[in-house]
Amino acid sequence: MKPGAAEGGRESAGPMAGLAMELIPAHDLPAVAKTLSRWLPRILPAGGRAMLVFAPDEKGSLEGWIIGGGEAPAAPAGPAHREEGPIPTAFASPAVLRERAAEGGYAVLPLDAAGGPFPCLLLASGGQSGATPSEASQADALAALLILTLGRMRIQSVLSVGKRDWEKAFDASSDLFVLHDDSGKVFRVNMAVSLFLGLPIQACIGRSCAEILPGLCQMQDASGLEWADAARGRSFIASTQHINLGGQSACLHVLHEVTEERRAQALAKQQRDLELTRKMLQGLAHEIRNPLFGISSVVQALEARISSDAAAKPYLAIVLREVKRLDRLVRRFMQLAFPSELDQPGTVEVEAILRRALEITGERRPELDTKRIRLLCEPGLPALRGDGETLAQGLADLFENALFFGPAGSPVAVRALRSEGLTVLSVEDEGPGILEGHLDLIFEPFFTTVPHRTGLGLSLARSAVLQYGGTLSVRSAPPSPGATFLIALPSGMAQGKEE
């Protein structure tokens, strides 16, 4: 298209149509004034003139523009020599404007659709006898066009403010917001997502939603979905909504974090389950311990009576060995049924608890190679109250479990660090892992996949952790090797260095 062809097309449709086309992109009153200055000379009769005036400011003065010829500004707002175009002007008050309008023979055309006096357009025809009927009709059409233009500008302003407010709320929210297109490509995230991923916002843009929120992206709208990020140990309630953004189809994911609520629920469930287990074990320990004491006494008496009977001694030794094994089992029952109180004075360092747990493991199971256990303790961890013996006993159960299931010679990594205000202890082995169907069962008393094991170790470990107000969980995903047991202890159970 040759230069000027578009403007020529507007001319051929008439000056009013050309004015309407150029008012479409106008976004403020100065833009409207500039557009009017280009088109009004073609619309007004010869000698016609106009003023565009908008509402009074805080001091009551009016500002506007003189458009077309025939007037000098009442209070020039610019240099004396100006290029052709609207001339800024000002009036001290509406009364001064009304006087000028009467003197100049202006017709006042209000431009407020609600009927207010401002903004307004003042038009004066070039003839001595006033405007002709056709000129009056054209003036009404011009006023209607400007009313539509100003109405559109007001709507755009409201939408712009709304968009700005929405974006501020979007970015300031602690919930995670992710917007992506139909292909799953992310084009907008908020600061909460940036902090969650540990990446700048711009580094999140362009990535696949399935990479950021694995398992959550789907075609249908949904709300109240549980979504967990296992790597970070965080839980969310998620909603998915397909929306239209200015003609662009998009999908919005909103995730509200409920990690602390889920931890509290898990802790409450563990405590309820443990209380039921304790009641059961109290009765069981009582029923076993009494006859066991009788059996032990009888065997010891028999051993003294038949000390010279070499053939009977091996059988008595077997009975005594099994009695001792049952006695150890009953003692384990008693640990679950009657946990020790954490009312010892003083505090103990986390590293000291880990080393004590290592000693207990070697004492209990000397056949296990405790040298495979590698302790990595972050410096500066807050001390725990009491002597830590209960927790050391529970950790020893985890150490024994890791050594038993890990391949011969494989390391067991034990770490202690601070994470999100918690003291986190982890025990990681390289064993076969735990089947998904067993993950919810392994902390139950007597559950075991190995026939000759009691299935009490992990229950006792959980009981010890609960006494410190913490949680014990496990991560494992066969066929990937290994399992990781995680102990999270709240800062409220710690004293000393950070308090």
What lies within 8 Å, CB to CB, of 406 at 6+ separation is: 372, 412, 429, 430, 431, 482
CATH superfamily of 5-166: GAF domain (3.30.450.40)
Residue holding tokens 């397909």?
Answer: 242
The whole-angstrom separation of Cα 472 and Cα 100 is 85
- What one-letter code names the amino acid at 478? P
CA torsion angle 183 184 190 191 (round to 10):
-130
Give pLDDT, residue 7: 54
Q: pLDDT by residue for the chain (499 residues), tens digit each?
A: 444 555 555 555 578 888 888 888 888 888 888 888 888 888 777 777 888 888 887 777 888 888 865 443 444 444 444 446 788 888 888 888 888 888 777 888 888 877 778 888 888 876 555 556 676 777 778 888 888 888 888 877 777 776 676 667 677 788 888 888 888 899 888 888 888 888 898 898 999 988 888 887 766 788 888 888 877 778 899 888 888 876 788 888 888 988 888 888 877 887 787 677 777 777 777 777 778 778 878 877 887 777 777 777 787 788 877 787 777 777 766 666 666 655 566 788 999 999 999 999 998 888 888 899 999 999 989 888 877 888 898 999 999 999 989 888 899 999 999 987 889 999 999 998 888 888 878 887 777 887 777 777 888 888 888 888 888 999 887 777 889 999 998 865 544 333 3
Q: Do domains 5-166 and 173-257 have the same CATH topology?
A: yes
> Token digits for 11?
């001319």
Tell me the CATH number for domain 173-257: 3.30.450.20
Class of domain 343-499: alpha beta
Q: What is the residue extent of each domain of the chain?
A: 5-166, 173-257, 259-338, 343-499
> What DSSP character marks residue 381?
P
Instruction: Using CA atoms of 20, 21, 22, 24 in order, give the dihedral in degrees to the nearest 10.
Output: 90
Q: Is the peptide bond before 407 cis (omega within 30 degrees of 0)?
A: no
> Residues 30, 78: contact at Cβ < 8 Å?
no
Distance (Å) of CA 313 to CA 11, 296, 310 = 123, 15, 5
What confidence score (pLDDT) does residue 357 get? Answer: 93
Instruction: Identify residue 219 by its one-letter amino acid code.
Output: M
